[in-house]
Amino acid sequence: MKDVALRAGVTKQTVSNVVNKRPVVSPDTVARVEKAVAELGFRSNLLARGLATGQTMIVGLVVPTLTSAFYAEMVEQIENALDGEGYNLVVGTTYGDQDRTRRKLEGLRQRSIDGLLLADDGNVGGQLEIVRETGLPFVLCAWENEIPEDTTVVTFDYEKAGYLAGRQLRQLGHRQVGVVGDLPAHQRRLDGLRRGLGREPAAIVASRESSQRGGYNAAATLLAGAAEVTAIMATHDLLALGVLEAAKQHGRRVPDDLSLVSIDDIEASGQAHPPVTTVAFPIERLAQEATSRLLRAVGTGRRRSGVTTLPPKLVVRASTARSARR
């Protein structure tokens, strides 16, 4: 910057004014400075600027994992939203581990990042103290557990997701419905299902693993013990893919002999055979809302708490049909 100033025959300060497009410099000088900038290939050092202004243009994001279609999509969308505002993203994964979460948070705090985005991992909630101590603005994202006091959160209506799934089955005439679920994590989805169904599920099997294999095993158990079910709801798509396999294995054709509905709408669900009817969460909107709220807090310095709940949407595909038994 000094070099640029020298070359343009002005002061560092004037260079700064030009670079930051502050309209206080004569067109003449601007031109001279810009020429020098171009010739020297000068780019301002964000680090130094950050130190001087207290704004680093970096946002931290803490997620349980990246190797889950849902979080991967979320991180990607957040990076996009941030990119549009000139911000960079530093990510940390917690694996739902207390110590790791604490370490990540402590690490980020030293980075002088401008704000923090936290995804629910059923654990980070317990570490909120650390976040609060930093005084950093933060937004809770996709929070499925109980929502902490005095926080800004952008999340989905998980209960409604369950409701939409249940209502769909009900409208198709299903009375005996089985549930394969990631429980108790997805308790709200289950509550919603009950409401949509207008009755208790005939059987509920909690999956041990939050994976396709887990869904397969749980569905196998369920179908063996409750053969009367005409439909199954999975509390998320990965489980549903396993349920689909298990159903085929048990000689139940989907959707003729068994309807399947799920929640999440990961890409694989739409590409399964048959494609799975599921409930989609507007992840892109979440990313936009969360970042815009965070950046607003960064800009104003004000911390307005409040919960934004985004509505899920039913995506009807071929895995659901009218119940044969009426």
Partner DNA sequence: CTGAAAGCGCTTACAG
Residues that bind a second copy (CB under 8 A): 41, 43-48, 50-51, 56, 58, 65-67, 69, 72-73, 75-76, 79-80, 83, 86, 88-93, 103-104, 106-112, 133, 211-213, 216, 241-242, 245, 248-249, 267-268, 270-273
Q: Report the nearest approach of DNA to the CB of residue 136 (Å).
A: 14
Could you tell me which stretch among 4-12, 144-152, 172-180, 281-289 binds DNA (CB under 7 A)? 4-12
The Cα 275–Cα 241 span in angstroms is 10
Structural contact between residues 46 and 88, judged by C-beta atoms closer than 8 angstroms: no
Question: Of DNA, a second copy, none, which one does residue 191 interact with (CB within 5 to 8 Å by kind)?
Answer: none
17 counts as binding DNA under rule CB under 7 A? yes
Q: Report the nearest approach of DNA to the CB of residue 281 (Å).
A: 38
The Cα 216–Cα 165 span in angstroms is 20
Q: Report the nearest approach of a second copy to the CB of residue 56 (Å).
A: 6
Nearer CB in complex with a second copy: 73/289? 73
Q: Report the nearest approach of DNA to the CB of residue 97 (Å).
A: 28
> Hunting for tokens 């993203």 — which residue is that?
89
| Phi then psi dihedrals of residue 239, to 5 deg | -60, -45
Among 31, 38, 51, 316, contact with DNA (rule: CB under 7 A): 51
Question: Of DNA, a second copy, none, which one does residue 90 interact with (CB within 5 to 8 Å by kind)?
Answer: a second copy
Structural contact between residues 227 and 250, judged by C-beta atoms closer than 8 angstroms: no
21 counts as binding DNA under rule CB under 7 A? no
H or E element in which residue 237 lies: helix 237-249
19 counts as binding DNA under rule CB under 7 A? yes
Residues 237, 241, 243, 248: is their CA dihedral positive or negative? Answer: positive
Torsion of CA 223, 224, 229, 232, to 10 degrees: -20
Q: Report the nearest approach of a second copy to the CB of residue 110 (Å).
A: 5
- Of 25, 10, 169, 141, whose CA–CA distance to 73 is shortest? 141
Tokens at 308, concatenated: 């934004």
Q: Which residues of 119-128 are buried (b: 16+ CB within 10 A; e: fewer)?
A: bbbebbbebb
Q: Report the nearest approach of a second copy to the CB of residue 253 (Å).
A: 12
249 counts as binding DNA under rule CB under 7 A? no
Among 49, 194, 250, 313, contact with DNA (rule: CB under 7 A): 49
Q: Report the nearest approach of DNA to the CB of residue 142 (Å).
A: 33
Could you tell me which stretch among 14-22, 168-176, 219-227, 242-250 binds DNA (CB under 7 A)? 14-22
SS3 for 91? Answer: strand
Q: Between β-strands 231-234 and 203-206, what pairing exists: parallel, antiparallel or unpaired?
A: unpaired
Nearer CB in complex with a second copy: 68/176? 68
Strands (E), 147-247: 152-156, 177-181, 203-206, 231-234
Question: Of DNA, a second copy, none, which one does residue 13 interact with (CB within 5 to 8 Å by kind)?
Answer: DNA
Give start and end residues of each alpha helix (H) in the chain. 2-8, 12-19, 27-40, 46-53, 69-84, 98-110, 128-134, 158-171, 187-197, 212-225, 237-249, 267-271, 283-300
Nearer CB in complex with DNA: 43/326? 43
**Residue 136: burial class (beta carbons within 10 Å; 0-12, 13-18, 19+):** buried
11 counts as binding DNA under rule CB under 7 A? yes
Q: Would you tell me which residues interact with DNA (CB under 7 A)?
A: 1-2, 9-14, 16-17, 19-20, 23-26, 28-29, 42-45, 48-49, 51-53
